[in-house]
Structure 1
Amino acid sequence: MRLTKFEHSALLLEDSGKKLFVDPGNFTSPLTDTANTVAVVITHEHADHWTPEQLKRILDLNSDVPIFAPEGVATAATDFDVTVVHAGDSVEAGPFTLRFFGGTHAVIHESIPVVDNLGVLINDQLYYAGDSFVVPEGVEVDVLAAPAGAPWMKMAETMDYVLAVKPKRSFATHEMVLSRAGKDLAGSRIQWATEQNGGEYLALEPGDSIDL
């Protein structure tokens, strides 16, 4: 399985000639080369994790592709056929097995409603919690997508999260709200936390790919 990181929270997984997109939002460059997509995962309804325009770029070439997301996305994305999933669900999409965790977005501020949010474990290798710090209990995580910056987090929380998950490898995501200096600083803290349990930090930039 091959992972490509795009800007912010968008990820592309490829296996056996098939594609899975995760969280293509408004901080991510317009998607191209979307043929052979077998599924889309949207962790929650905020625009930095999905937009109608990004979904249409996928659906234009894959009209029947399933979109897996929590209830809040289905309510927001009324022009699309969203398959609602919940924490504890497991689904198959082409060569991809998707297991879902969590349930709610991390708190931003008491004045802002907390929305549905799901973490996803892909092929028992890559774990991405969306906008949360939900630890997938009982799972040995090979690769962890760790948030670098957001209005709902502070760096100490990300560091504690990485220490709790103990991934073999990690990389930074949710980084487009940071300056270059901020990205570098966040990466160094995620690297430190990963290495405390013998893991390796991958300094991925948008467009970089790795084999899992």
Structure 2
Amino acid sequence: MRVTHLGHACLLVEMADRRILVDPGNFSSGFEDLTDLDAILVTHNHPDHFDPEPAARLIRANTRASVHTDPLTAEKLGAEGLQAVPTRREEQFAIGDITITPVGELHAFNNDHVPQIPNVGLVLRADGEPTLFHPGDAYDAEPGEVDVLAHPLNAPWCASRDSIGFVARIAPKAFVPIHDALLSERGKRMYCTHIESFSGVDGLTLRYLADGESGEFQ
């Protein structure tokens, strides 16, 4: 499996001979001109995970890509004449030989002034490939056994203790920090060091991918 971090929460995942883009948002770059995508996935309808104008152009440019999004994003795309299949918890679907399991239902609580919207995390599995979990913006889903966790490192809705506890509970073999656009490079490294030091996960490997950088996972 090859994972390219396109900034913040956006990942290009290449596995089982498929190219899948997750969460093309407005803190990310490099996804706008991608072609030959097999699927475009969106966890929730916040602009840092789904930037409407470039994402719509991307969908139109990748005519053979299936589009699977949380229910709110699917509704908004439908209003623009674009088809998307709503993802709902535990309603599995397949992209080629990849089985995708939606997990979770709601965005993490921010504050009393910000409504909770649908947030559906995504678990990607295929024979002979590592399992990847992208949770979107929530720490409460139950993805099962995970090899690679795309871990939201920092957000207005989380504290460092919650971030560390999430990694400890999921207990992946490796974590790839995402959702990091609000942090300096020094801040990213500090948060990552805290997770490595305090999560208590035996053999946990940090795979830090800078914006635009790719990594191979076995």
TM, length-normalised to structure 1: 0.92
Structure 2: unaligned runs, 5 residues or longer: none
Query: Which has a greater percent of strand?
Result: 1
Residue ranges of structure 1 left out of the alignment (5+ in a row): none
Alpha-carbon distance between aligned partners in 1 of 2:2 and 2:97, rounded to the nearest angstrom:
12
Structure-2 separation of matches of 1:154 and 1:27: 21
Contact 2:18–2:96, Cα closer than 8 Å, also in 1? yes
Structure 1 residue 82 displacement after superposition = 1.4
Partners of 1:196 and 1:16 in 2: CA distance: 28
CA contact (8 A) 1:149 1:178 kept: yes
Q: How many residues align?
A: 211
- In the alignment, what sits opposite 1:196? 201
In structure 1, the partner of 2:98 is 96
1:47 maps to 2:47: yes
1:128 counterpart residue number: 134
The alignment-based identity, stated in percent, is 28
- Asked if residue 19 in structure 1 is aligned to residue 24 in structure 2, the reply is no
Cα offsets for 1:42-61 (capped at 9, x unmatched): 00000000112332342243
Distance 2:109 2:195 in 1: 21
Matched, 1:106 2:108: yes
Residue correspondence of structure 1 range 47-196 to structure 2 within 5 A: 47-77=47-77, 78-79=79-80, 80-123=82-125, 125-137=131-143, 139-193=144-198, 196=201
CA contact (8 A) 1:172 1:190 kept: no
Q: What RMSD, in angstroms, separates the aligned Cα atoms of the two structures?
A: 1.8
Corresponding residue number in structure 2 for 1:28: 28
Once the two structures are superposed, residues 116-139 of structure 1 have per-residue CA deviations (whole angstroms, 9 ceiling, x without a partner) of 0011001260011100002425x2
Superposition misfits of 4+ residues, deviation over 4 angstroms? none
2:109, 2:22 → 1: CA distance? 22
For 1:167 and 1:17, the matched residues in 2 are separated by: 23
Post-superposition offset of 1:210? 1.8
Is the 1:59–1:65 Cα contact (8 Å) retained in structure 2? yes
TM-score using structure 2 length: 0.89
| Matched residue type, 2:216 | D
Q: Is the 8 A contact 1:19 1:38 kept in 2?
A: yes
Deviation at residue 209 of structure 1 after TM alignment:
1.4
